[in-house]
């Protein structure tokens, strides 16, 4: 069983930055594919970024160049650094863990992710 706890959400103005954290209950981040998903009101949940056990990362097109996913195995924590935030980034952000290796399609297959956190809200105002 892997428990994931997100933190770091908040309200910022467009152009601002936030760093989200996903703390894992075990060394899962060193062995699993960890991903950030988000869901805006009235929209489907979508994959944002993923990081594999070897550190390889993947991003959805809308956040490339603005968001960076990273991890600290010693702290069993995955981060999502979000820069140049836009109002359309407003959503509940969730981290999730999959025992499958990450690949470019991971962000589109939510069913691969067995463990999910409770989410942290990000609100970007214009």
Dist. CA 14–CA 37, nearest whole Å: 20
Dist. CA 102–CA 75, nearest whole Å: 21
Summarised one tens digit per residue, pLDDT across range 57-90 is 999 999 999 999 999 989 999 999 999 999 999 9
Residue 115: both structure tokens together: 């463990």
- Beta strands at 120-125 and 10-13: parallel, antiparallel or unpaired: parallel
Predicted confidence band at 7 (pLDDT cuts at 50, 70, 90)? very high
């Amino acid at each position: 069983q892997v428990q994931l706890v997100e933190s770091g959400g908040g309200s910022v103005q467009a152009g601002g930055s936030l760093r989200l954290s996903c703390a894992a209950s075990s060394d899962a981040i060193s062995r699993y594919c960890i991903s950030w998903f988000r869901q805006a009101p009235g929209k489907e949940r979508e994959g944002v970024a993923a990081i594999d056990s070897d550190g390889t990362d993947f991003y959805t097109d809308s956040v490339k160049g603005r968001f960076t996913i990273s991890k600290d195995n010693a702290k069993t924590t995955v981060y999502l650094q979000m820069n140049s935030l836009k109002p359309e980034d407003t959503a509940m952000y969730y981290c999730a863990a999959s025992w499958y290796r990450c690949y470019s399609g991971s962000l589109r297959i939510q069913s691969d992710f067995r463990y999910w956190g409770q989410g942290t809200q990000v609100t970007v105002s214009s």
